[in-house]
Every structure is written in C-alpha cells, then in structure tokens.
Structure 1
Amino acid sequence: MKSLTTVALLLISNLFMTFAWYGHLQFKKISWLHGLGLVGVILISWGLAFFEYVFQVPANRIGFEENGGPFNLFQLKVIQEVVSLTVFTLCAVFVFKTDKLAWNHVVGFALLVAAVYVIFKKW
C-alpha cells in the first residue's frame, strides 16, 4: 500500500511540476496570460511548484525505507525520474500537443525501464 501511495503522490507531484516548468510555454495560447511578463510567469510557476512539493515531500517520506516505506533513496529517485518522464511525455503529446512520440523516445523509455530493473534487482 505504501508503494502505491508513494507512486500516486509522485504522479500528482509531477503533474504540478510539468505545468510549473513547461506550462508557461503555452501561455501564448491563453489570451489573458499572453502579455504576462517574466516576473508574472515566475510567480505563477512558483505557485504551481508549491503544490509539487506538497505532494513530493510526503511521497518520499512515506516511501522511504527508514520511515517504514519499501524504497531506499536510489529506488525513490529512479521511480521519480520514470514518473517525471512519463507525466511529461503524456502532457507534451496530449495536453500541450507540441510534440509527437517518436521511436527514439520509446527506446529511451525502454532504457529507463531497464534502469529501474537494475536499481531494484538484488545482486
């Protein structure tokens, strides 16, 4: 259960992160945000990043083995990276609609899955 909670919180966290880091690049499509200056964009991104941390910090605390969770630090980081790239890809392709998923992206994700396997493998 803690592993599912950790991953769910990371998914939510990374949704906020993606919009904080890349959502402002779509502001030109929203008329009332079109003329927003850099300071305004930074403030909106900071506001979104706050919610990223509201979910990220509990995810890591719940998931960390020294707090009773199932994951060590390396495992938490690899999960974070895979979740981050998955959420980003889905947003880029289906929400922002700026990019298409290409073969090299799929190969890169397969290599990330291999990284997860290697990190979680007990040698």
Structure 2
Amino acid sequence: MLKTVALLVLSNVFMTFAWYGHLKQTNVALWKVVLISWGIAFFEYCLMVPANRAGFLNGFNGFQLKITQEIITLVVFAVFAVFYLKEPFQTKYLLSFLFILGAVYFAFKK
C-alpha cells in the first residue's frame, strides 16, 4: 500500500506541473506549453501505471485506486496552488476536502 501511495504522490506532482505549471508563463506560446506538458506527462504515466498495478495486486479495487488518486491529487494541488501559484487557501476549500474524505471513508468501508 505504501508503494502505491508513494508512486501516486510522485505521479501527481508531475501531472500537476504538466497541467498547471504553465499558468504563470503566459508569454510562452500555447503549442510549446502543450508539448512541454506532454513531455512532463510521460513521466507521470511512468509512475501512475505501476502505482495502479501495484495497488491492484495488493488488494485495492479499481474504485479504491481512483478515489485514493483523487484525494492525493487534491492535496498535491493544494500545496502547489499555495506555494507555486501563490493563491490563498480558503476555509471553503478545506470543507470541500473534508467532504471528499468522507467519500473515501465510504469507499473503503467494508
């Protein structure tokens, strides 16, 4: 489980930069941003696919893998938005995340 989560975290760091890292670089042509993002996304895939395989082989089902990945995505993005994009983290975002954590609870409840 730890291997799966670690790979998911790393893959989400790459994907967050691929999708949102260019937002502050508005002077770069869009086609260049797309090509750079594809290059970054390649490394995300190199981590995401093994993460999902390892998780599935270690007892996660598809739904659990996806929900776990989404929570990790939100946490990684929140850190990215605050520290890279310099956006304030508001209480409404925290409340939204808590509701999503509730969804995780129900997804893993037996």
TM-score in same-fold range (> 0.5): yes
Structure 1 Cα separation of the partners of residues 89 and 30 of structure 2:
30
User: Once the two structures are superposed, what CA deviation does each residue of 1:36-78 show, in whole Å capped at 9, x if it has no partner?
Assistant: 21111110000011011010000000000xxx31200010000
Q: Is 2:93 aligned against 1:95? A: no
Q: What residue ranges of structure 1 are gaps of 5+ in the alignment?
A: 29-33
Tell me the CA shift for residue 117 of structure 1: 0.3
Q: Is 2:36 aligned against 1:56? A: no
Match of 2:16 among 18, 29, 32: 18
Structure 2 Cα separation of the partners of residues 63 and 7 of structure 1:
8
Structure 1 Cα separation of the partners of residues 37 and 9 of structure 2:
18
Q: What residue ranges of structure 2 are gaps of 5+ in the alignment?
A: none
Q: Is 2:38 aligned against 1:46? A: yes
Please report the TM-score for the alignment, with normalisation by the length of structure 1.
0.86
Tell me the CA shift for residue 27 of structure 1: 1.6
Q: CA RMSD in A?
A: 0.9
Q: Residue 60 of structure 2 aligns to which amino acid in structure 1?
A: F
Please list every run of at least 4 consecutive aligned residues from structure 1 whose deviation after the TM superposition is greater than 4 angstroms.
none
Q: Tell me how many residue pairs correspond in the alignment.
A: 110
Q: Select the structure of larger CA radius of gyration.
A: 1
Tell me the CA shift for residue 95 of structure 1: 2.1
The residue that corresponds to 2:107 in the other structure is 119
